[in-house]
Amino acid sequence: MRSRHSSIRSIITVVLVILVVLGFGYNLFDIQILNNEFYAAQNNAVNTYTVPIEAARGDIVDRNGNTLVTNRQGNSIILDAAYFPSKEDNKPRNEIIINLIKLFETNGEEYVNNLPLVSDGSSIAFTDDETEIKKMKSEGVFNLQNYATAQNCFDAMVEQYELEGYSIADSLKIGAVRYELTTKMFSIESPITIADDVSNETVAAVKEDPVSYKGADVKPVSYREYTDSTLAPHILGTVRKINADEYAELKESGYGITDTIGESGIEAALESELRGTPGEMTVTIDSEGNVTEEVTKNPIQGNTVVLTIDKDLQRLAQEKLKETCEEVSQTDGAGAVVVENINNGEVLAAASYPTYSIEDYYENYSKLAKNKRNPMWNRFALGLYAPGSTFKPMMACAALEEGVITEDTRFQCKGIWQYYDVPFECLRQTSHGNENVRQALRDSCNIFFYNCADKLGISKMNEYGSMFGLGEKTGVEINEASGVLSGPASAELYNRVWQMGDTIQSSIGQSDNLFTPLQLANYCATIANNGTRYELHFLKAIINGSNGSIDESNVTVAEDLPVSNNTFSIVKEGMRLVATDSVTHNVFDKIDIPVACKTGTSQVIKNGEKVNNGFLITFAPYNNPEISIASAIELAGSGTSTADITASIIDYYYSNNTDEPPAQQTGTLLD
C-alpha cells in the first residue's frame, strides 16, 4: 500500500517538474524568438521626466522707473529624486538627511520644518498649527484617527520612516524633512527644497561630498530684494511659498507645489503679471540608472509692474506721518495719509503708521502680530473712521443741488439747536450767529448742517454720499474696506431702529458713518475736479518681460456727478476759507501754494475714555487743482493738527518732485 502511494507521488512530482520546465522553456522561447524586439526595447528603455525651472518674478518700480522691488540671486538646497534613495530605502534616506541637518546646523542654516510635533526631551506635544496637525493625521501621511495623540503621531512616524535607532530630537529633525517629502509629493518631476538662501560654505560642502549628501543639490534661486524694505510695505505686499489649497486651485495654471506666490498688496493683486513663465528641464534615466539633464525651455522673468507712486513723495509722506503720530502719542500714535492725482485717480503716495519692514516680515511675524499698535494693519485702505466734519462739503453739495438752501441761505447758530425735545450742540457749543454755507464750512458750524439734514433726509444724503464714493470701494488693486454710509440699513446691522436724530448726527460725519482715508482722498478729488470721480489705482503700466512692450493702465471714470459747477464753486470757496480764515492758516500761510481744505474731528472710545481722531481733506492748488490729500490721525484731538503733514507734502510736490531724473527711459513715457 505504501509502495503504491509512493509511486503516485513520484509520478506527480515528475509531471510537475515537466510542467515547470515546459513553462520556462515557453517563456524563453517567447523572449528569445516570438517577442525578441519588444523585450530588447524594454531592456534598453529610457525614462524621461520634465522638471520645471522656476522663473524670476518681475520687478516693481515707481512712476519714474526707480526700482522698489527686484530680485537677487541666491542658492537653496534641494533633494532630487533622480539621485536620492527611493522611499523604500528608509535607512539610506535617513542617513543622508541627518548628514545634511548636521551641516545646516554647523553653518547656521535654517531648514524646513513643518512637522507639527515638538518635544521637551521626554514627551511629545503638538504645535498650535491645527491645519498641519490635520494633514499629518490624514490618509496620505500617517493615516491616523482624528483623536490620535501627539505620541501616537510620533510613533507612527518612527515606524513609517524607520527611525528606531535615532534619539527623539534627531527623529523629529529627520522626520520633519521626511514629512516635507511626503506632503510635497517628492518625485523626479518635483524636487523639494529643504533649505533656502544658504551660505557659500554650505553650497561648497554639498558640491564637494556627493556621497554623504547623495541626492542633494544646489539650486540657484531668485529672492525678493527691496531697495528700501520700509518703503510702502502696505502697498507692495509680501510673497511666500504656495499653500496646499492654493496649489490645488492653481496647479492647472502651471504652479508647482513649491512655487512662490504673492501673499498681499501688489505682489498678490498683480500675481499674474509678476509671475514669470517657468522653463523646463528634461531628465532622462536609462536602464543602467545613468541620469542626464538638459534645459529644453528657458524661463522668462515676469513683467515689470510700474506703480503710480513717487518713491520720494512716498518716503516724505511716511516720515511726516510718523512725526505727527509720535507727537500725538509715543505709545498709541497711529494714522494714515493718501495723496491722489485728481485728474486720473492715480495714488501718488499712501502711508500707514505704525509700519514695518518687508524684509523682516516673516522673521518678526509673531512679534508684529502681537504688537498692540497693529503695524501690519493697512490703515489707509482698511482703516474705517467716522469722518467728522470732513463730511460737511458733501452735505453742502447735496443741500445746494437739491435746492433746500441757496448760497445766501442763513441759519441762526446759538451754540445749541433744539430738535423737538433733543438738544444738539454746535462745535464746542460755539455760537456762530447767522451763517451762510461758505461761512458754515469755514467755521464747521454743526447747526447749519443739522438744518440741512432736517430738510434733506437720510435717503437723499446717502444718495449724494454714494455719488462721491463714500461707503464704497475705490477700485484700488490691493485689499480695501467698503466702509459704511449710516442709515436704516446700518442701524439694522446693529439691531436698532433708525431715528431722525440719527440723521441729524449723520450730517456731521458721526452716527454709523465709517470711511477709509482712500475714500476721503477720492471724495475730496471729486469736489476739486467738479464732479468726476475716478477709480483709484496703484498700477500705472506693465512692461512686458519678454519683448519690452509697455501697456499703460486705463483711467476709469467711476461716476460723473450730476452736480453743477456753481455748486462746486460755492463749496470750494467755503473750503478755501478754512485754509485762509481758520486756525489752519497758521500752517498753510507758510507755503506758496494756495489750498482749500476741510478739517474734521470724530469722537471715539479708547480704554474707556472719550478721545478725538483728527482728519483733514485738502486739494491744491486752489485755482487749478492737481492733487488731493486726506489724512487721518488717531487721538489727534482735531483735524488742524494734521495740517503739517499736508503742507509738507504740497510743498515737496511743487518744489522737489522734478529734481531727480527718471531711473529708466520709460519714466518719460510714464510721467
For residue range 1-27, what is the model confidence (pLDDT) as tens digits?
445 555 666 666 655 656 555 555 555
pLDDT-wise least confident of 171-175, 217-221, 395-399, 458-462? 217-221
- Please give the model's pTM, rounded to 2 decimal places: 0.86
The pLDDT value given to residue 660: 44
pLDDT category, 42, cuts 50, 70, 90?
Answer: very low
Does the pLDDT of residue 357 top 70, yes or no?
Answer: yes
pLDDT digits (tens, 9 = 90+) for 330-348: 889 999 999 999 999 999 9
For residue 546, pLDDT beyond 50: yes
Kindly report, residue by residue over 601-611, the tens digit of the pLDDT: 988 877 777 88
For 273, phi then psi, to 5°, come to: -85, -40
What is the number of other CB atoms lying within 10 angstroms of the CB of residue 268? 18
Q: What is the pLDDT of residues 244-279, one digit of tens each?
A: 888 889 988 888 888 899 999 999 999 999 998 887
CB-CB contact of 596 with 578 (8 Å): yes
- At residue 23, the pLDDT reads 59
Contact 431, 413 (CB under 8 A): yes
SS3 assignment, position 431: coil
Query: How does pLDDT run across 360-371, given as a tens digit for each residue?
Result: 898 898 899 999
Q: Residue 630: pLDDT band by 50, 70, 90 thresholds?
A: very high
Phi, psi for 377 (deg, rounded to 5)? -75, 125
Residues 562 and 564: their CA atoms lie apart, in Å, by: 7
Average pLDDT of the residues in 88-107: 96
Which is nearest to 465 in space by CA: 523, 536, 504, 381? Answer: 523
- The predicted pLDDT at position 17 comes to 56
Going by their DSSP bridges, the two strands 334-341 and 304-307 should be labelled as unpaired
Q: What percent of the chain has pLDDT over 70?
A: 91
Q: What is the CA radius of gyration of the chain?
A: 35
Binned at pLDDT 50, 70 and 90, residue 667 comes out as very low
Q: What's the pLDDT score for residue 20?
A: 56
Is pLDDT above 80 for 669? no
Choice among 124-128, 218-222, 309-313, 651-655 with the minimum mean pLDDT: 218-222
Find out whether 480 and 516 touch, Cβ atoms under 8 Å.
yes
Query: Could you tell me if 353 and 333 are in contact, meaning their C-beta atoms sit under 8 angstroms apart?
Result: yes
- Residue 362 to residues 81, 154, 358, 382, Cα–Cα distance (Å): 29, 28, 8, 21
Cell 458750524 found at: 445
pLDDT at residue number 659: 43
Q: What is the pLDDT of residues 649-666, one digit of tens each?
A: 999 999 875 444 444 444
Stretch 665-670: mean pLDDT, rounded? 43
